[in-house]
């Protein structure tokens, strides 16, 4: 069933207070989400190569347990490596052939670390524990049933929206800027573990940024605070292009306190707090559009690592944002779109129990003027769901 209705609330930009969070590349929660999804992509590739189809798996349970390091100005060493626990379910054997699931999972994790964390050696600084097991008969049977479209393996609800507000865009862009290759080349002393919390009150944007400096580059407490001010100025320059706000204030590493030595400065050896301070877990990070926006409806599914052809907790969450964007961009006179999708376990994923667009219209626009076109966008997206799922399986869409 498809329902197109008028959104009854105000635009998020009209709320007096808006709060938005973004966890960046080196945040332990982001690392868990990204690595588990990389494992799913790698397994999907192997299943297709060996069997011509994606087999049952869900790599959506994972924990990055913090290690221990020792730091001194200009140097440091790892005392206890981090431990990555990769869990839930996978297909280990099919058609009389064994699949090296554990090897594929570890290799995918190591590759992600090499590509994203400059100072984490995936061989030396991480241990790996594989706690994957075969799935239940009823859920694995989904992959043996006839039909061009897989049945949903869960009853699950998802929500997506578009467009991003200026606050959401500023928070997202700032983290991506700070973790960009260009920024890291210019300021190699900055770590990847970045968290940006944005709070807009009226037209004033207040940003709290946490980002460690790397101990190998910092010679003293004074050197730390000198570098910190330079980096803060760089953030202010970057944010100067955002003209939607009367004022933008940046607060950087606010736990710092001069005169307390290592107890008063945010230093890291490897660029992530998982080295000794904070563990990570799948599902505690960003939603699939890269943000945690408290003024928006939020789904509860951990999309990262779920299989891309029958687990609606992944498919519908990403698809809801995609459909919301399509409706906004292809139909004139829309301020905001919220898309809600609901599956029923056992029903083909191209036949949602409910697909709803809640549309906030510009003045003088009426819902009956746009409803048919919005319905057509839903129909088009669901008719091409197999193509979308294969794109998911190849990692085309970010889930964090």
CATH number of the structural domain spanning residue 177: 3.30.300.340
Tell me if 222 is assigned to some domain: yes
How far apart CA 57 and CA 263 sit, in angstroms, is 44
Q: Does residue 309 have a cis peptide bond before it, meaning omega lies within 30 degrees of 0?
A: no
Tell me if 392 is assigned to some domain: no
pTM of the full structure: 0.95
- Asked if 303 contacts 154 with a C-beta cutoff of 8 angstroms, the reply is no
Q: Which H or E run contains 326? A: helix 312-330
Tell me if 20 is assigned to some domain: yes
Query: Quick one: tokens of 304?
Result: 């990262």
Tell me if 298 is assigned to some domain: no
List of the chain residues with pLDDT < 50:
none
Tell me if 177 is assigned to some domain: yes
Which candidate, 377, 330, 335, places its Cα nearest to that of 356?
A: 377
- Full residue range of the structural domain in which residue 240 is found: 12-24+167-281
φ, ψ dihedrals at 379, nearest 5° = -60, -40
Instruction: Please tell me the predicted confidence (pLDDT) of residue 299.
Output: 87
Q: Which H or E run contains 77? A: strand 75-80
Q: Are strands 334-342 and 292-293 parallel, antiparallel or unpaired?
A: unpaired
pLDDT tens readout for residues 249-275: 999 999 999 999 999 999 999 999 999
Tell me if 31 is assigned to some domain: no
Tell me if 190 is assigned to some domain: yes
Total domain count for the chain?
Answer: 1
Name residues whose C-beta falls within 8 Å of residue 230's C-beta, 6 or more positions apart in sequence: 187
- Asked if 243 contacts 229 with a C-beta cutoff of 8 angstroms, the reply is no
pLDDT tens readout for residues 116-169: 999 999 999 999 999 999 987 767 777 777 778 899 999 999 999 999 999 999
- Asked if 21 contacts 291 with a C-beta cutoff of 8 angstroms, the reply is yes
Which candidate, 81, 78, 77, places its Cα nearest to that of 129?
A: 81
Tell me if 226 is assigned to some domain: yes
């Amino acid at each position: 069933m498809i329902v197109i209705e008028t959104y009854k609330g105000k635009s998020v930009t009209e709320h007096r207070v808006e709060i938005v969070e973004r966890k960046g590349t080196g945040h332990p929660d982001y690392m868990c989400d990204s690595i588990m999804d990389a494992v799913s992509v790698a397994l999907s590739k192997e299943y297709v190569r060996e069997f011509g189809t994606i087999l049952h798996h869900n790599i959506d349970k994972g924990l990055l347990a913090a290690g221990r390091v020792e730091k001194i100005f200009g140097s440091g060493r790892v005392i206890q490596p981090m431990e990555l626990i990769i869990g839930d379910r996978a297909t280990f054997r099919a058609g009389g052939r064994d699949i090296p699931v554990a090897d594929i999972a570890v290799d995918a994790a190591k590759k992600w670390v090499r590509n994203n964390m400059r100072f984490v050696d995936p061989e030396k600084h991480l241990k790996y524990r594989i706690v994957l097991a075969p799935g239940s008969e009823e859920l694995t049977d989904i992959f043996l049933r006839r039909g061009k479209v897989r049945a949903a393996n869960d009853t699950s609800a998802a929500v997506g929206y578009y467009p991003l507000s200026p606050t959401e865009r500023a928070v997202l862009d700032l983290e991506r800027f700070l973790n960009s290759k260009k920024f890291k080349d210019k300021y190699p002393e900055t770590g990847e573990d970045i968290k940006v919390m944005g709070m807009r009150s009226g037209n004033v944007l207040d940003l709290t940024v946490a980002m460690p400096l790397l101990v190998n580059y910092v010679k003293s407490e004074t050197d730390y605070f000198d570098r910190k001010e330079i980096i803060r100025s760089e953030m202010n320059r970057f944010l100067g292009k955002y003209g939607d706000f009367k004022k933008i204030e940046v607060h950087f590493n606010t736990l710092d306190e001069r005169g307390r030595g290592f107890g008063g400065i945010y230093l890291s050896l490897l660029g992530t707090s998982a080295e000794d301070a904070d563990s990570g877990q799948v599902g505690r990070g960003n939603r699939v559009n890269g943000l945690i926006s408290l003024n928006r409806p939020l789904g509860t599914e951990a999309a990262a690592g779920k299989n891309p052809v029958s687990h609606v907790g992944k498919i519908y969450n990403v698809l809801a944002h995609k459909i919301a964007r399509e409706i906004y961009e292809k139909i004139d006179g829309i301020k905001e779109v919220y898309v809600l999708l609901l599956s029923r376990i056992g029903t083909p994923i191209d036949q949602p129990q409910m697909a709803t667009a809640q549309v906030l219209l510009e003045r003088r626009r009426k819902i009956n003027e746009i409803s048919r076109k919005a319905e057509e966008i839903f129909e088009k997206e669901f008719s091409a769901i197999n193509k979308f799922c294969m794109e998911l399986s190849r990692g085309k869409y970010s889930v964090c």
